[in-house]
Amino acid sequence: MVSTNREFDIAAISRDVEIPLTFEQESLWFLDQLSPGTATYNIPIRVRLLSEIDQDVLRRSLNEIVQRHEILRTCFRTTAGRPIQVIGAPPKLSLPLVDLTDLPEQERERQADRLCQEQAERAFVLDRDLMLRAVLYRLEKEKYILLLNLHHIAADAWSIDILFRELGALYGAFLKGQPSPLQELPFQYADFAVWQRGRLSGEMLAGQLAYWKHQLAGAPPMLDMPTEWARPPIQTFRGSVEMAEVPASLANALKALGQREGVSVFMTLLAAFQTLLYRYSGQQDITVGSPIGYRNKATGLEQLIGLFVNTLPLRIDLFGNPTFRQVLSRTREVVLGAYENQDVPFEVLVTNLRPERDLSYNPFFQVLFAVEHVQPGPVNLVVQTEFVSSATAKFDLSLCMRDFLGGMRAELEYCIDLFSRETIRRMLDHFMVLLRGIVENPDERLNALPLLTTDERQHLLVECNQTRVEFGRGRYLDELIDEQSRAAPDRIAVRFGDDLLTYRELDQRAEQVARSLRQLGVGSDDLVGLYVERSLDMAVGLLGILKTGGAYLPLDPVHPTDRLAFMLKDAGPISILTQKRLEAALPDIKTRLIFLDDLQLCCAQQPEVRPVRERRPSDLAYVIYTSGSTGTPKGVQITHRSVVNFLN
């Protein structure tokens, strides 16, 4: 992906002069000044060793590496208000041994995990600490865990490979009583820092800055991903990580697709990740940050431990719902252009382009993407290397695809202030489904590529649509109230101020009203006006009308007389159930009035007989009038079938 031409030789400089920090180091130093005592930029690595270990030889090997690479024994101090590198004499790196063999077997691994996590979250003090720490945990006679912790200001991912390669070579040689097999380094990281500062100027800087100004002009300041919680006003960098395995068959298919399209594995996976972000956010203009090594610029850098990584903002155009094959082409163009202009450190970009700044998110991008090609460790020492979570997240999301023999692993670091573990697990599941859809049909448009898992499709398309409800076909509103009266007769049914009725009392009083109404000729589907004030009588009268098989027409005494007159003329009720004190307020009509006061008195001595009557669910339950705000009020006829369906 990256040109291997070597541009300049780096010369060793005098250690008697003040040595500046690189641009990348200066950014990390500044962040440490803002939030000292945090583990955000720790690089903790856990190494499983499955053989008997000579602790003295291992300690000697680690000290040789600290002696060999000045950056690991460099402190960062301030002079005249600016930071400088201060290289210390080779100290003795300690390698404490924590013996866990006295614990029950099942507890050893758990205790080792806890202790490793504590070490991972232990902050570095940049103005006095070594930039490398080591602890050895013994679980069995031939089973150890070596925990190494470096600060990012002194190392990057490539540095980890160098460290383990040299550690394996030194341990093997020292174990046999042989001298170090490693060749002397041509220069040190301090020499690179001076070289970088001197080189980044003039026409080269102006030309590359012009590219980035054009490339990032008008870019959205942030990616609007759906989150569980609101973004904190200031980034806390609290994070966690989730992982998913990519089967070898799928990994190989992705690589084959990239080869056919003339793009690298990195470009293929970046295009897939951009597609995932597009589907989640709905955003068509997406910028993702990606780290790139600086080691191709001069001979000898590939041998040095140090921070040689720059971060490039990769802005991809996803407008027009393109096919994935089209996205691959667009991604290739953007990545190659960024690589041609990779010399400008991200910190210099921010200073010169002056993007909108907000303490709640990173400028230009909030999502990071990287691919790491994992090399097997030295077989005489390292069996398995694992990065330990330091419970931090430098960005909202950081996806690292680790490409190793036999497959890939997706490691998604996330900010726990924004996302839950369940959401990130789903996101990884969706990414796996998306990758399979891409290799099966790269000519599919982005919106049509699959995203949901089989279980999610079953839930959304089948289970969520199982909306059939048995709502009691052929039932009646008053019948439902009767059932409740029989099931819980002493529960409160109606409350008005301090007055109340139980279901038994409501049923008894309503039945008395119904009996009287039937004797006066009210029957099935007859419409009866209900002109009463809000009170217990309103509920009694309403239910009494329903019990006759008739329907009620609510008439509110507070309504204007003209409206009431219109409703009575339009609906034509056979009678009006009301209270004597309201008679004078009724409009001048010829409809028969039935006084609720008289019904309750005359019915007190009559026996309770519930007649059997023929009814239909299509019978009216009530008629209610619209407000009439857009013209003449309209009466809406509501059947028992409709209201029972609605209530259920």
Q: Per residue in 553-584, pLDDT tens?
A: 999 999 999 899 999 999 999 999 999 999 88
Q: Using 50, 70 and 90 to split pLDDT, how confident is the model at 1?
A: very low
- Whole-angstrom distance, CA of residue 63 vs CA of residue 180: 12
CATH code linked to domain 19-458:
3.30.559.30
Q: How many CB atoms lie within 10 A of CB 25?
A: 26
Predicted local confidence at residue 297, as pLDDT: 64
Query: Which conformational region is residue 331 in: left (phi greater than 0), alpha (psi within -120 to 50 degrees), or beta?
Result: alpha
- Whole-angstrom distance, CA of residue 135 vs CA of residue 149: 9
Burial 267-295, CB ≥16 within 10 A → b, else e: bbbbbbbbbbbbebeeeeebbbbbbbbbb
3-state secondary structure (DSSP) of residue 531: strand
Predicted local confidence at residue 646, as pLDDT: 84
pTM over 0.75: no
- Whole-angstrom distance, CA of residue 60 vs CA of residue 67: 10
Q: How many CB atoms lie within 10 A of CB 226?
A: 10
Q: Using 50, 70 and 90 to split pLDDT, how confident is the model at 587?
A: confident
Average confidence (pLDDT) over 471-498: 88
Handedness of CA 293, 296, 302, 304 (dihedral sign): negative
Residue whose token pair is 């898992």: 453
Provide the greatest CA pair distance for the chain.
Answer: 122
49 token code pair = 């060793």
Handedness of CA 554, 555, 560, 566 (dihedral sign): positive
Tens digits of residue pLDDT in 103-157: 998 899 999 999 999 999 999 999 999 999 999 999 998 899 999 999 999 999 8
User: Does residue 244 carry a pLDDT above 70?
Assistant: yes
Tens digits of residue pLDDT in 273-302: 999 999 999 999 999 999 998 776 667 888
Percentage of the chain lying above the pLDDT 90 cut: 67
Rounded to 5°, angle at Cα 399 from 395 and 405? 150
Average confidence (pLDDT) over 214-239: 93
Residues forming CATH 3.30.559.30 domain(s) in the chain: 19-458
7 token code pair = 């541009």
Nearest alpha carbon to residue 121 among 236, 43, 47: 43
Predicted local confidence at residue 6, as pLDDT: 47
Average confidence (pLDDT) over 410-415: 96
- Whole-angstrom distance, CA of residue 475 vs CA of residue 618: 10
Residues forming CATH 3.40.50.12780 domain(s) in the chain: 477-647
> From the centroid of its chain, how far is CA 558?
53
- Topology adopted by domain 477-647: Rossmann fold (3.40.50)
Which has the minimum average pLDDT: 174-188, 370-384, 393-407? 370-384
547 token code pair = 């019990």
- Whole-angstrom distance, CA of residue 204 vs CA of residue 207: 5
User: Does residue 376 carry a pLDDT above 70?
Assistant: no
Nearest alpha carbon to residue 93 among 173, 11, 42, 149: 149
User: Does residue 617 carry a pLDDT above 60?
Assistant: yes
User: Does residue 3 carry a pLDDT above 50?
Assistant: no
- Whole-angstrom distance, CA of residue 193 vs CA of residue 298: 13
For the packed helices 157-175 and 55-68, what is the interaxial angle rounded to 10 degrees? 130
Q: How many CB atoms lie within 10 A of CB 256?
A: 12
Q: What is the separation, in whole angstroms, between the first and last Cα of the chain?
A: 64
Query: Which conformational region is residue 497 in: left (phi greater than 0), alpha (psi within -120 to 50 degrees), or beta?
Result: left
User: Does residue 524 carry a pLDDT above 60?
Assistant: yes
Cβ-proximal residues to 256 (8 Å cutoff; 6+ apart), any chain: none
Helices (H), 413-558: 421-440, 454-461, 477-487, 503-519, 536-547
Nearest alpha carbon to residue 271 among 213, 331, 323, 227: 331
282 token code pair = 């709905």
3-state secondary structure (DSSP) of residue 366: coil
- Whole-angstrom distance, CA of residue 307 vs CA of residue 159: 8
- Whole-angstrom distance, CA of residue 56 vs CA of residue 79: 38
Predicted local confidence at residue 602, as pLDDT: 55
636 token code pair = 């809406």
- Whole-angstrom distance, CA of residue 641 vs CA of residue 615: 12
Under a CB-based contact definition with an 8 Å cutoff, are residues 220 and 285 in contact?
yes
- Whole-angstrom distance, CA of residue 181 vs CA of residue 159: 19
Q: Which residues pair with 287 in a beta bridge?
A: 315
Under a CB-based contact definition with an 8 Å cutoff, are residues 149 and 132 in contact?
yes
- Whole-angstrom distance, CA of residue 527 vs CA of residue 331: 73
User: Does residue 388 carry a pLDDT above 80?
Assistant: no
User: Does residue 601 carry a pLDDT above 80?
Assistant: no
Per-residue DSSP letters for 372-438? EEPPPPPTTT-SEEEEPP-SB-SSSEEEEEEEETTEEEEEEEEETTT--HHHHHHHHHHHHHHHHHH
Q: Using 50, 70 and 90 to split pLDDT, how confident is the model at 425?
A: very high
